[in-house]
Structure 1
Amino acid sequence: MDRSMDRRKFVAGIAASSLIPSVALARTLEPYRGPVVTRVVVLKGKRRLYLMNGDKILKKYRVGLGTQPVGHKQFEGDGKTPEGSYFIDRRNARSMYHLSIGISYPNRQDVEFAMQHGRSPGGEIFIHGRAGKHKGLGRDWTVGCIAVADHHIEEIYMMVALGTQIDIVA
């Protein structure tokens, strides 16, 4: 093989590696080729997350929530996981929690409520993994995010597209 072919492979390898979600991943994530995830549903009381295609459940996962899981998130630092309809608005392949996908909290109503009380609504709410050092912290340990096992966030990360609706229910 000539040097130009070796160089192309090297450059292609570098480019491809920037697409791999995390340096910590021991394996390459497989592309998802199944039915489209049309909605994510989180039932806080049951500690379950469902990936839906219409009315059909494609996958279900156990979840952990914020340290104060009962009730809707109202203010930064309250330890609550939001309730309501939002959408997936960002992806973080370099998350300190293995991988993460962002939830569009706070919406306009959340901001207005917090401002009426002279507080911040908080933000940076994600579905994310546990990333080793967060294992063993118990079921509800986040500051308001939704935590799943690392191998589950890998599936969720690959299955859920930006713009997907997420309904978080008490």
Structure 2
Amino acid sequence: MNIPAAIKFIFPKVDALKDFEVWDNGLEPILRPGAEEKGRVRYEIKPPEEGEEPVEGVHYRYSIDYNLLLEGEDYDLVERGPYIAVWNLDEPQPTKAELEAAWEAYQKYEANKPPELTEIEQVREELVQTRIALTDTYEQLEFAQDEATGAQLALVELYELVLPLIGGDV
């Protein structure tokens, strides 16, 4: 599923650069039960002042050192896939089911949309239409010319018939 395309289908006026962000972190480690204590490391942030008690998050923090753990035994690498990490719209963030439905609707819409012609294809189409119009005009001119020639022949025949009657030379 293309999450940005689904969001743009639901909210056509969103700006993908400022209204939302879609992230994909790739493979992420997921700890198995009991592995947190095995890989826990304490990192010192700053030493406490004299007479001050150390406070977690101010003077130190705990973190997991995955170098101390074994993949498959203590943690697994799991692909989370793309997800909406930042949502700056006033509308509620769509659920996964809503995004799936929007993605399917978007695909149907795109499949039924007439293809957009390239510039060369547009010029080619215009040339074909012009050629058809010129052919029609040429055929009409030929028909008119045939009628004019027929009328001229009829006048000559009439002239040949009338001229002896009125005493003229042919």
Instruction: Give the shorter-chain TM-score range.
Output: under 0.3
Q: TM-score, normalised by structure 1?
A: 0.20
Q: Greater share of strand residues, 1 or 2? A: 1
| Structure exhibiting the larger radius of gyration computed from Cα positions | 2
Higher helix share: 2
